[in-house]
Amino acid sequence: MLGLIIFLIVTIIFLLVQLISYRRQVGEICRHIEFVKKNNTNKILFGDYDYKELKKLEDEINELSEKAKKDALKIRKTEGVLKETITNISHDIRTPLTSLEGYFQLLSLAETEEEREKYISIIKGRIGSLREMLEELFTYTKLQNEGYSLELQKINFTDAVCKTLLSFFNDFEEQGIVTETDISEEEIFIRGNTEAVSRIVQNIMKNILEHGSKRVKITLKQEEKRIIFRCENEAENTDEIDVSQVFTRFYKADSARTHSSTGLGLAIAKGLSEKMNGTMRAGTGDGMFFVEWEVKSE
């Protein structure tokens, strides 16, 4: 009987010691959390705990804290992008709007029908450019949404590319740009979106018209399951082009911003290509700038 009593006393003392130790270590975790909360520090919880449950709790708290830090950093970056976007949008839209205001004033002062027709034509062109800019901004915004997807189906890639290219040949001719094409005669099919393919080619062609000079070479070929669409154009000061930034929003190789471009064309092209499981890259060499788009055949 005495032995049982002694055993119970020892057990109780042991449990009390364990409880005291447990409470002390829980208190230590609480103090650490309070310190991190008050000082907005990057410090994480670290302790030598006797209980695996407390160690697990520490790990979970540290993981949650790390996630909160990453989320906060992501929010700050998003806020920075938003501010930059608003600044660039304001600049790009203000310029054509100011131009429109001036031409409307000239239109109101026009004395002949010929003058009125001239200013009306210019105003229509400016409105068209503004509409295209807003459409680019809208498309770019949609592509930033991770949940946004394209409706993909089997399409004739060759047909979609060639139809879009044909609409630009007159523009190249007017600017004196010599066009060389090397396009596979066989029909190539991919799992994609016809409108997106057309938009990608349009944006690449518009970039050539805006920044290219003298000569452009357009290639479309298939290598086993790889389909490669490549555009090379002569460009002045290719050493000044930062190819790592070509697909970045609002990037322009020249510092002077134009009235008709948001600097989003290639960023949109790359975003759309990725929605169709494609890749896009850019580079320079021998006075040429190129954009290469690769997709998989169906």
Q: What is the pLDDT of residue 269?
A: 92
Question: Which residues are paired to 192 by β-bridges?
Answer: 153
Average pLDDT over residues 221-235: 88
Q: What is the pLDDT of residue 253?
A: 54
CATH no. for 73-143? 1.10.287.130
Question: Which residues are paired to 216 by β-bridges?
Answer: 179, 233
Helix axes 52-109, 113-143, angle to 10 degrees: 180
- 255 pLDDT band (50/70/90 cuts)? very low
pLDDT tens digits, 44-69: 666 666 667 767 777 777 777 777 77
End-to-end CA distance of the chain: 85
Q: CB-based burial of residue 298 (10 Å sphere; 0-12 exposed, 13-18 middle, 19+ buried)?
A: middle
- 256 pLDDT band (50/70/90 cuts)? very low
- 199 pLDDT band (50/70/90 cuts)? very high
pLDDT tens digits, 121-176: 888 888 887 887 788 778 887 887 778 888 899 999 999 999 999 888 888 888 88
Average model confidence (pLDDT) across the chain: 80
Q: Are 160 and 198 in contact (CB under 8 A)?
A: yes
pLDDT at 11 over 80: no
DSSP label of 291 = E
Q: What is the largest CA-CA distance in the chain?
A: 123
Tokens of 139: 């498309």
Could you give the angle at the alpha carbon of 261 between the alpha carbons of 255 and 267, nearest 5°?
A: 90
User: 48 versus 228: which is more confidently predicted?
Assistant: 228
Q: What is the pLDDT of residue 249?
A: 65
| Count, residues in the chain | 298
- 92 pLDDT band (50/70/90 cuts)? low
Provide the 10 A C-beta neighbour count for residue 164.
18
Report the b/e string of 129-161 with b at 16+ CB within 10 A: bbebbeebbebbeebeeeeeeeeeeebbbbebb
User: 58 versus 264: which is more confidently predicted?
Assistant: 264
User: 210 versus 25: which is more confidently predicted?
Assistant: 210
Q: What is the pLDDT of residue 44?
A: 65
DSSP label of 193 = -
- 230 pLDDT band (50/70/90 cuts)? very high
Q: What is the pLDDT of residue 22?
A: 67
CATH no. for 154-296? 3.30.565.10
Q: In what order do the strands lie in the sheet with 279-285?
A: 178-183, 215-223, 226-234, 288-296, 279-285
Average pLDDT over residues 103-121: 87
